[in-house]
Amino acid sequence: MPSRWATIETVGDNVKKRESTWPQTVVDVARGEFHVNGDNNTIHEAKSSAEEKAYYQNAVVIAYLLVQHVMGAVPMAGNGNGSVKINVDPNSIKVKLTVEDWTSQSCSLGSVSVILEPSTDTRRSIFYSLGEVLLILFSRQETIAPQCRATLLSRQECLNERDSANREADTFDSFQDTMQRALMFLDLEEGGGDIMMDDLLELPEKRATTTPSTFSTLCTNYPTLPISVCRLIADVMEGSNGGVALTKTSFTSLEEVLEDLKRMMFEPDVFLHNPSDPRIDFGRRLYGREREISTILSVANGISSKRGSGALEIISVHGYSGSGKSFLVNQIGRYLSTKGWIFLEVEVDRMKHGDAAFPMIISALDHYFATMESMKFRESDDLRYCNQVATKITEALGPVGVDSLSRVIPSLNINRLVGTEVTENDYNNNHQNNIVRTGEEYVMYEERIESLLLSLVDAILSVGRPILLLYDANSQWTGDIESQFLEKLLKHIADRTSSRQNLLFIECCGNKDTSTMASHDFVNISRIEIDEFSKPALNDAISHALCLPPRVTAPLSEIIHIKTMGNITFVLEFMKSLEKSKILTYNASERQWVWDTDIVPLQRISESVAGLLMRKLLNLDKSVLDCLIVASCFGSQINVPIIELLDGLRGVTNIGANLDRAVEEGILEKAGPLYMFSHNSLQRTVYEITPQNSRNQLHLDIGSTLISKSAGAPQEVIEELFSVALSHINRSLPNGENGQANEINLSSSQRSVFAKLNLKAGQKAISNKADFSLAKFHLKAGMAFLPEQCWRDQYDLAFNLHIEYANALLVQLEYKELDTLCQALLLKSRCVEDQIKIHEILIAYLFRSGKFPEALEHVRSVLDTLGFPLPTSIDKDTVRAVLEALRALASSFTPEQMRKFPLMTEDVPKQAMKIMGSVPILCTYSSPTFAAMIACQMTQLSIQHGLCAESAVAFGNLGFAINSILQDFNCGYKMGNLGLTVFQRFKSDTLIIKTYVPIFGFLKSWKEPLQSCSEGLSYAIHEGSLAGDHVSISLAKVVLNRLLLVNGYKLSKLRMSQESLCREMMYNKQEEKFGAFFYQSLGDLYAIMSFIGEPEDRVASIFIPREKCDKALLEIYSSTKNASVLQIFYYQRFLQCFATKDFKSALDYSQEYDNLGNGMISRITDVPIVFFSGVIGFILARKTEQDGMFDVGEHRRMQMQMWADHGSRWNAENKSLLLQAEKNYTTGNLDEAKACYEASIKSAKEHKFIHEEALAYELYGTFCVETGHLENGTGLLRKAQSRYAQWGAIKKASEVFPLM
């Protein structure tokens, strides 16, 4: 560690502050020397006081330079009037200081001169002589009063004599030593702190003739001088260069003098001016943490300057409980907020929220918007920032999305922040979306809120102002659900460049092995270990707390460090115990803290933090401790108006006054209407004083009392009061577990009331805040409060509590408990309607856990119960027959008829439609035959009983089934348009993905431009993301990215999008539940990379190597026999072989692909298979003698021509023309070939297929080169190379010319 101090320079009348080895910003943060908006620490002093302080501060600078001069370190120029440089004789000197202008309000170098006078026979110590100089300087008097000087000199003679005596005797008499300690401890010796042991050699006589101490003499004769100055001068006068102090505090070297003057110079409020309050105060300083501050500020500077790594920066601060982790980061956050940052400190009360996913981020966002509201009234830049954020939020969420989040984030106000209002229709639609009915809707609602929160975070971070988010991740209190969501949030941010570059996330962890975030290639994780105080840092802290120089406090600090091992919690409590035991006292006459270093070690200290805190608590007055016990039941924060309602509970009175006394003891802090425990460990220690059994009863008493006194509570806390009261009532249950509460006695009516209150609270937690953890807490408690005969006497209450609890378990993925609960509920349910509700939850759970066969059996069972059974045998022939019959019926409908078609009004068909509508899109791939039958059944119900929101899904999936099974593309396209018409009538955001994926992903591409299909699918994904249903959204993104690849979308962007999709699947653990789904997406990523030519190592390190991905897909096919899994595998291998020009292997894969399909262009993956294999067939027919290659090319050409003639000319024309050109070249029709090449290029350019334009240029150029037109061919190949490069196919571009 470098030296703490460096140099001091002078410029004119100003003295620059010292240059620390740490940057000034680090020093400012460590000392807390910065002003934050809202801080109100400014003290307005009288003018005379301010002038005196200014003089003393300047005088300290002069004194420092004088001492440096005496040491020969700095030459001192005079004032221009012939003054000479001082030559100091260390043994004999007489110094006179002349100050020319005493009326000046400040002291500067120009007004001070030092004149050397001839030496006399009187020999004075250099320290004493320097002390006289300093006395004249600080007192602003030309000379020292004769009487005062005589007393000082007499004291000096006594010290000289004692110094001589000390050289002859190295030890003190034990009796005298004991007397000295006794006198000091009993405060019988005035100025005893300055009289050493030898002053008591002849104690009775000495007390009568003792010379007043230098310090007391100075205080008496110069009452206006600051005490610190008197102490400094006294210690200088009594100083010695021999390395042995003549008094307890006298200097032993001039270096020590300089060090004290530095402290006075740079921290005058602590070490120079008399403290106005003698309390021990460690202040808002960070002692010995410069290195940690520097590390964090370095990372922050990289973010704010945009010169960092561009990755998401995470700093994990580890340390024992109470080591000051949060205080360190909080101090830095407050400093950064003065530099344009936004500092968000997240605090989640576990006693109120338990293990919840969203409270952490909601707390941070609530704090953020409250900060934004205050920013509107500051500088123009802040107002501009607020407007930019409002715009981004509106664009990302829309008024309806903002309205949904404003229900869970209190400070997010639409009219005040965004400046737009939600229309009545939007509000009604949004309100409908927030009404949760089924298990599937529960999950989608939770996912909807999650998606809205992630989009909101993206919108905020994209504006560019850096944000520091502090999260207290103490492992003892952090739950699994919260940790999982937090990790998912951070990974989501890390995946987005515009977000990750503007966030600094700092977590404070108790366990060094604990961290919120695992490794990520766009995340930098720094780790900081907060250890105990070093001895210098501890001495620095105690020096500041006692306002005494470090050399004075060093002996005390040494003892305290030994006793506490530098543990800051122990240090604070040990200092308080010393003060309380009067071992550390404030001497009013000397106006400073004094102690006896011989007695301090005798003070006891606990061996653990818990023991220390417990001893502290047990030393409190009983009335204060009783109030604290009640307060601890509320968690870390206590609302004053609410807790004061408990006055009189269990004899606890004067709650406000007693809690204020706890504030004075440092146990609580108070901010406005809130009391807060100063540390979590204090709250836990107080809470655990009461035994568990008694604690349960106490919670019940608190909750009951609050409800009984609610009429007297202020209106603004009524809602919080009932929430708090119910929370206490619930915690009266033993260990929070279900079952009867044996430790408390409740009547049946009380149990029923508490159960009903919890049911309402659970439902409100879901509908208003999407807080399923809080809902689960209330519902579980409500179940525990149910009376013994509840299923007989209160069936509705018991069933509703259990079914709501089951839904909460579904959302929180607690499937094992959920399955057990549902099976028990099926036995207790009384009616079909209730059984259907249970089956809905089971179906949602089975689908989401990847158990498709079991889920489909439940669907079949429910439909049988409702009276709409599916055919006993669902095979291809059965489905084909049903489809042909339904095609004839549905083909007669028009969009206009759908707009006026009657609506479904009967409850039973609605229930059936909702059950079938919950079948995920994935079933289209995993169970295509069953999915087709479901589509038929839904369409038949819609035609027979009227339309509902799910009817849009029915017609869309019906069109997909007709397309893929009956090969009737025109009818499938028509059904898709009917589905869109129905969707527009209901506009259900929760069903948009299930409606749009089959229509825009498969049906419309037959007739409409592929680019417009991509736009429609992108719109659905955006809207659907805000509605939830992560699984369907992921599938939609898979389809979209495959569509974009066929469109010729820029590969670099597509590659990033595909990797991001794979990451999302990992974050949502979809690779565990839907393995084929994930591995197919990863295979798509590798296929895209094969066109770019990017090495696979980096992606393989994030996920798995391509070979393992292929192996996983083949294993899934082997176990499921799902043809679509193997077909996608062949599709991906085909693309990779085509990109690397392994044409023979590519053709083999295309043949395998066709064998599993229908040989038609019915899916988006069919397009590149048909087109590229056609090109390969003609190339191989020309270059090899292999039989059948021309037939392969011709077959593909005819398929593409049919698409162009009967489907979409836009999509197929350029492809058909290029295959025709290749055919003509192969058959020797060169003129026709040339014309077709040129027409294909023109069509591809007009229809915006840049990758196919590149391929056409490449094949046309090759044609020209091979037919002898080298110059023309070279130009065409250069254009091909350019188009490939524009597409992003770097590898393809580099391989164009080697073709020649």
pLDDT tens per residue across span 1007-1032:
999 999 999 999 999 888 777 777 78
Nearest to 1029 by CA among 433, 437, 444, 439: 444
* Strand 342-346, strand 467-472: pairing: parallel
In this prediction, residue 1249 has a pLDDT band, given cuts at 50, 70 and 90, of very high
- What is the per-residue pLDDT for 276? 62
pLDDT: is 39 or 1094 the higher one? Answer: 1094
Mean pLDDT of 285-311: 87
CA distances from 495 to 489, 861, 977, 1061 (A): 10, 43, 36, 10
CB atoms within 10 A of CB 1075: 18
Host H or E run for residue 728? helix 718-730
Q: How far is Cα 243 from Cα 240, in angstroms, rounded to an integer?
A: 7
Q: What 3-state DSSP class applies to 652?
A: coil
- E strand segments, 660-731: 668-671, 674-677
Q: Look up residue 911 and give its two tokens.
A: 């229930």
pLDDT: is 339 or 45 the higher one? Answer: 339
Q: How far is Cα 1294 from Cα 1093, in angstroms, rounded to an integer?
A: 9
- What is the per-residue pLDDT for 175? 39
pLDDT: is 378 or 462 the higher one? Answer: 462
Nearest to 161 by CA among 207, 121, 210: 210
Q: How far is Cα 555 from Cα 584, in angstroms, rounded to an integer?
A: 13
pLDDT at 73 over 60: no
In this prediction, residue 165 has a pLDDT band, given cuts at 50, 70 and 90, of low
Mean pLDDT of 976-997: 93
- What is the per-residue pLDDT for 1170? 95
Nearest to 919 by CA among 905, 909, 908, 932: 932
- What is the per-residue pLDDT for 170? 42
**SS3 breakdown of the chain: % helix, strand, coil, rounded to 5?**
65, 5, 30
Mean pLDDT of 921-933: 84
In this prediction, residue 993 has a pLDDT band, given cuts at 50, 70 and 90, of very high
pLDDT at 84 over 60: no
In this prediction, residue 695 has a pLDDT band, given cuts at 50, 70 and 90, of confident
Nearest to 982 by CA among 917, 1031, 934, 930: 917
Digit-coded pLDDT (tens) for 208-246:
345 688 888 888 888 888 888 998 999 988 887 666 667
Could you tell me what percent of the chain has a pLDDT over 90? 31
Host H or E run for residue 956? helix 951-961
Q: How far is Cα 192 from Cα 604, in angstroms, rounded to an integer?
A: 26
In this prediction, residue 952 has a pLDDT band, given cuts at 50, 70 and 90, of very high
Mean pLDDT of 63-91: 50
Nearest to 295 by CA among 506, 516, 513: 506
pTM of the model: 0.73
Is the alpha carbon torsion for 1191, 1192, 1193, 1194 positive or negative? positive
Query: Are the beta carbons of 1043 and 1005 closer than 8 angstroms?
Result: yes
pLDDT: is 1175 or 565 the higher one? Answer: 1175
Q: Which of 304-313, 647-656, 1196-1205 has the lowest mean pLDDT?
A: 304-313
Nearest to 98 by CA among 79, 115, 123, 85: 115
**Residue 750 exposed, middle or buried by CB count within 10 Å (0-12, 13-18, 19+):** middle
Query: Are the beta carbons of 218 and 230 closer than 8 angstroms?
Result: yes
Strand partners, 947: 903
In this prediction, residue 1161 has a pLDDT band, given cuts at 50, 70 and 90, of low
Q: Look up residue 860 and give its two tokens.
A: 């079949």
CA distances from 332 to 310, 326, 517, 1038, 1286 (A): 21, 10, 22, 43, 46
In this prediction, residue 36 has a pLDDT band, given cuts at 50, 70 and 90, of low
Q: How many CA atoms lie within 13 A of 320 on its CB side?
A: 13
pLDDT: is 225 or 955 the higher one? Answer: 955
- What is the per-residue pLDDT for 418? 45
Q: Could you tell me which residues come within 8 angstroms of residue 866 by beta carbon, excluding any fewer than 6 positions away?
A: 836, 908, 911, 912, 915
Digit-coded pLDDT (tens) for 391-446:
888 888 888 788 888 878 878 875 555 444 444 454 444 444 444 456 677 777 88
DSSP output for 1007-1031:
TS-HHHHHHHHHHHHHHHHTT--HH
Q: How far is Cα 464 from Cα 499, in angstroms, rounded to an integer?
A: 8
Q: Which of 60-64, 704-708, 753-757, 1126-1130 has the lowest mean pLDDT?
A: 60-64
Strand partners, 675: 638, 670
- What is the per-residue pLDDT for 139? 84
Digit-coded pLDDT (tens) for 812-865:
888 899 999 999 999 999 998 899 889 989 998 888 887 888 888 999 999 999
- What is the per-residue pLDDT for 1281? 94
**Could you tell me where the DSSP H helices lie in 189-253?**
203-209, 214-221, 227-237
- What is the per-residue pLDDT for 275? 67
Digit-coded pLDDT (tens) for 1228-1246:
999 999 999 999 999 999 9
pLDDT at 121 over 80: no
pLDDT at 1196 over 90: yes
b/e code 1108-1133 from CB counts within 10 Å (16+ = b): ebbebbeebbeebebebbbbbbbbbb
* Strand 503-509, strand 312-319: pairing: parallel
- What is the per-residue pLDDT for 780? 92
Could you tell me what percent of the chain has a pLDDT over 70? 81
**Interhelix angle for 24-31 vs 325-337, to 10°?**
120
Distance of alpha carbon 664 from the chain centroid: 33
Find which of 87-91, 343-347, 973-977 is predicted with most confidence, using mean pLDDT: 973-977
CB atoms within 10 A of CB 393: 25
Q: Look up residue 712 and give its two tokens.
A: 């007297």
pLDDT at 370 over 90: no
- What is the per-residue pLDDT for 980? 96
Mean pLDDT of 720-728: 86
Digit-coded pLDDT (tens) for 747-761:
888 889 999 999 999
The phi, psi pair for 525, rounded to 5°, reads: -110, 120
Digit-coded pLDDT (tens) for 551-566:
889 989 988 888 787 8
Digit-coded pLDDT (tens) for 806-820:
999 988 888 899 999
Q: How far is Cα 1293 from Cα 1092, in angstroms, rounded to an integer?
A: 9
CB atoms within 10 A of CB 896: 9
pLDDT: is 193 or 330 the higher one? Answer: 330
pLDDT at 1191 over 50: yes
Question: CA-based angle 901:906:911, to the nearest 5?
Answer: 105
Query: Are the beta carbons of 599 and 181 closer than 8 angstroms?
Result: yes
- What is the per-residue pLDDT for 975? 96
The phi, psi pair for 1218, rounded to 5°, reads: -70, -40
- What is the per-residue pLDDT for 498? 83
- What is the per-residue pLDDT for 89? 36
- What is the per-residue pLDDT for 457? 92
- Four-CA torsion 447, 450, 456, 461, nearest 10 degrees: -130
Q: How far is Cα 990 from Cα 953, in angstroms, rounded to an integer?
A: 11
Q: How far is Cα 1178 from Cα 1194, in angstroms, rounded to an integer?
A: 8
Q: What 3-state DSSP class applies to 1184?
A: coil
Mean pLDDT of 646-668: 87
Nearest to 1237 by CA among 1202, 1279, 1207: 1279
Is the alpha carbon torsion for 850, 852, 857, 859 positive or negative? positive
- What is the per-residue pLDDT for 187? 37
pLDDT: is 101 or 147 the higher one? Answer: 147
b/e code 998-1017 from CB counts within 10 Å (16+ = b): bbbbbbbbbbbbbbebbebb
Q: How far is Cα 398 from Cα 822, in angstroms, rounded to an integer?
A: 38
- What is the per-residue pLDDT for 427? 44
Nearest to 772 by CA among 441, 1067, 1072: 441
Largest alpha-carbon pair distance within the chain?
134
CA distances from 810 to 496, 817, 852 (A): 30, 9, 16
- Map tokens 């404070």 to a residue: 508
- What is the per-residue pLDDT for 733? 82
CA distances from 536 to 6, 24, 296, 555 (A): 17, 20, 22, 12
Is the alpha carbon torsion for 217, 222, 226, 232 positive or negative? negative
Nearest to 949 by CA among 980, 915, 983: 983
Q: Which of 117-126, 302-311, 328-337, 1132-1141 has the lowest mean pLDDT?
A: 117-126
Q: What 3-state DSSP class applies to 904?
A: coil
Digit-coded pLDDT (tens) for 868-900:
999 888 888 999 999 999 998 998 999 999 999
Mean pLDDT of 336-356: 71
